[in-house]
């Protein structure tokens, strides 16, 4: 434990300290965060308010929006504040908390996306038995299971990462406390204690991804049998964007965690991290909800009620 006190704070140097670039960074991140905040909050309010949206699919979507809000709020506001104040420090405890909360929300979101693919499979491939399969009890259990799984994964990663020694450099070349960059500055002789959790995490992520792909293969094979070309087109236009977001989220995350660590700054690391920390929370409201006709109708009803 004495090793842990050698570094009392970390310096987040993800972006150049140039004043004009700092302003651009803070404005861009503020815009992205505002869009994500408004989109996900709107979805949570609408699904909670509209009675006709109290179905399993929208129950999962509301939980996804809440997760997206949490995930982007863990990293982006701190990064914006650092750029505005030009104070890039974060305490040791703050860094550990950020790692724990980010892994918690990211892992839980992946598990929930896997559950949501099963929900779509049940709705499209077994429509007559959908209400029986996706009953309220099962929905709550699967959502709770996603959170429990995310908590265990996060606890494993956080405990193993911060059991390492940090005694040489405290400069993290990232805009938030991320495990690969923490491993790069650790002065522990062996990183096996965190390498094993990363490999286990990648294995779990791969299993989730394979499950999602297999589920969508069955969904697409069922959709192809729909006699109406308009119906097929609508189903494909709904499912394909879902897959794109999942693939983007997983591939960038796995690549970031599996690539060799480096103590030197890298613009590619920053770009990749944006894709798995900020893009999904910003795009998910549009792809999963706001393109949906039932959601659009609920939005119109809500604003009509507010204005009258």
Given this model, what pLDDT does residue 2 score?
43
Question: What is the pTM for the complete model shown?
Answer: 0.88
Within 10 Å of residue 233's Cβ, how many Cβ atoms? Answer: 12
pLDDT digits (tens, 9 = 90+) for 127-144: 888 889 999 999 999 999
Given this model, what pLDDT does residue 274 score?
85
Rounded to whole angstroms, what are the CA distances from 301 to 38, 89, 90, 164?
18, 46, 44, 54
**Sites in the chain below the pLDDT cut of 50:** 1-5
Distance CA 243, CA 229 (A): 21
Given this model, what pLDDT does residue 16 score?
63
* Apex 148 CA angle, 145 and 149, nearest 5: 85
pLDDT digits (tens, 9 = 90+) for 255-274: 777 776 666 666 777 888 88
């Amino acid at each position: 434990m004495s090793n842990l006190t050698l570094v009392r704070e970390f310096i987040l140097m993800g972006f150049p300290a140039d004043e004009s670039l700092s302003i651009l960074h803070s404005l861009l991140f503020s815009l992205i965060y505002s869009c994500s905040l408004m989109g996900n909050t709107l979805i949570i309010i609408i699904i909670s308010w509209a009675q006709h949206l109290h179905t399993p699919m929208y129950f999962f979507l509301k939980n996804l929006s809440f997760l997206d809000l949490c995930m982007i709020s863990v990293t982006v506001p701190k990064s914006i504040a650092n750029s505005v104040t030009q104070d890039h420090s974060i305490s040791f405890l703050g860094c550990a908390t950020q790692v724990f909360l980010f892994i918690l929300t990211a892992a839980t979101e992946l598990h929930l996306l896997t559950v949501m693919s099963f929900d779509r499979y049940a709705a499209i491939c077994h429509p007559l038995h959908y209400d029986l399969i996706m009953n309220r009890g099962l929905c709550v259990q699967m959502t709770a299971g996603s959170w429990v799984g995310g908590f265990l994964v996060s606890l494993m990663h956080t405990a193993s990462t911060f059991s390492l020694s940090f005694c040489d450099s405290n400069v993290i070349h990232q805009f938030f406390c991320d495990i690969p960059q923490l491993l790069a500055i650790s002065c522990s002789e062996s990183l096996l204690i965190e390498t094993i959790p990363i490999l286990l995490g990648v294995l779990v992520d791969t299993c989730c991804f394979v499950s999602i792909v297999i589920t969508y293969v069955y969904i697409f094979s069922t959709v192809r049998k729909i006699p109406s070309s308009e119906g097929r087109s609508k189903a494909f236009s709904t499912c394909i964007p879902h897959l794109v977001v999942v693939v983007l989220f997983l591939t960038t995350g796995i690549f970031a965690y599996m690539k060799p660590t480096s103590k030197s700054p890298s613009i590619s690391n920053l770009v990749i991290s944006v894709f798995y920390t900020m893009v999904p929370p910003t795009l998910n409201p549009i792809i999963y909800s706001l393109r949906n006709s039932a959601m659009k109708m609920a939005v119109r009803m809500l604003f009509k009620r507010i204005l009258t």
